[in-house]
Structure 1
């Protein structure tokens, strides 16, 4: 299964190579920060089927508001190119906030070759394989 950014048919994907049993900590919370509504919803639904609790934000500014309001995600899945506050600005804010600097971040972007963020725990180029994302989430939640 490959999730392609902005691809409306991505929900009719092949689950080849991905087990049907949810993995990881069932209480694990993932904040998905992605401006493409369809892709964000697809990722959120997929993560929920894997046992994760998911909160969505359409850009970095909304993600900041959620964190400042008390959201405590175990992992943040972050796009780089977004309106209002992009992923790089969000990641810089996050790493400079003592309350949030420890948060695990996976960057998923189609523009990684421009300049990969140094403060991310992991990066994935879009489109990415969900089984690799699942494995990385389980690793980061388990640390």
Structure 2
């Protein structure tokens, strides 16, 4: 089971960032699914997608990353995968604790720093 690639759901509305993150992860043998907002991510999860890691931008259209975090917490599934937030916004310690966020990286971020964070969760 250790040799199975980790599955990552990337929630990011900026196409350039989504592409860069996808390329980084796929080149490191991760299985990557992308969603442009929280609503699409929630639909993917409802359809049975089971990521190991959720990479989440907080500021997305239609359904923000904040709203997705609250909804996942409300449904009791936010602890079934590691959550890494990548955002220009700031989270409080209470939000980080409440949602079980494993990592936070400020935008703009260094791609090597993101990779190191992903490997560590």
Give the total of aligned pairs.
114
Distance apart, 1:131 and its partner CA:
2.1
Larger radius of gyration: 1
Deviation at 1:44, TM superposition (A): 0.6
The equivalences for 1:1-143 within 5 A come to 27-98=5-76, 100-102=77-79, 103-112=81-90, 115-116=91-92, 117-118=95-96, 119=99, 120-140=101-121
For 1:32-56, what per-residue CA distance to the aligned partner results, in whole angstroms no more than 9, with x for missing partners? 0001122111211111011111000
The CA deviation at 1:89 is: 0.6
Structure 2: gaps (5+ residues) = none
Shift of residue 74, structure 1, vs aligned partner: 0.3
TM-score, reference length from structure 2: 0.86
Distance 2:36 2:102 in 1: 21
Please identify which structure carries the higher strand content. 2
Higher relative contact order (CA 8 A, sep 6+): 1
- Normalised to the residue count of structure 1, the TM-score between the two structures is 0.73
SS in 2 for 1:121: strand
Structure 2 partner of 1:10: none
8 A Cα contact 2:69 2:78, kept in partner? no
- The CA RMSD measured in Å over matched residues stands at 1.7
Mapped to 2, the partners of 1:64 and 1:78 lie a distance apart of: 12
